[in-house]
Amino acid sequence: MLPLIKRKVGETMVRTMTIDDYDEVYALWMSIHGFGIRSIDDTKEGVEMFLKRNPTTSAVDVEDGKIVGAILCGHDGRRACLYHVCVSEKYRMHGIGKKMVEFCCEQLKKEKINKVCLNAFVTNTVGNKFWQKMGWTLRTDLNYYDFALNEDNLTIFNK
């Protein structure tokens, strides 16, 4: 088990994500066991397009000069979605995920967005436990469908 990093109570280092953060964010994604990366959407070019469409709503948490948490957050003018919510394994259980989610939600409220959703893989026990603890509602009243417009945009999971 990785050692936990102590944080000062109430300390927050959450800020808006920019494309300059990409290399560190990508390295964070690659460090997390079971994390799913899209072969096209999660390239630097794909993330740059996403951030240009949503310049204020994504977040990173910086500790000791390095990014230890990240969320891609965007909206269509009506509903927002969180993607790739993650915290480095050794920085977990210190409120970083909660602070980043709160940051994103505050940014969305400024843009008059009233609802936010996310997808969590059923096998992601850590993530699902986090969302339940945060008070998010697991929807059982609808079916989720998607359709691949580009078959080359594959999800690859870290081992």
pTM of the model: 0.86
DSSP string across the chain? -PPPPP--TT---EEE--GGGHHHHHHHHHHSTT-EEETTTTSHHHHHHHHHHSTTT-EEEEETTEEEEEEEEEE-SSEEEEEEEEE-GGG-SSSHHHHHHHHHHHHHHHTT--EEEE---TT-HHHHHHHHHTTPPPP-SS------S-TT--EEE--
List domains and CATH numbers for the chain.
14-157 (3.40.630.30)
User: Which ranges of the chain have pLDDT less than 70?
Assistant: 1-12, 153-154, 156
pLDDT tens-digit map of 18-29: 999 999 999 999
pLDDT tens-digit map of 61-85: 999 889 999 999 999 999 999 999 9
What's the pLDDT at 152? 79
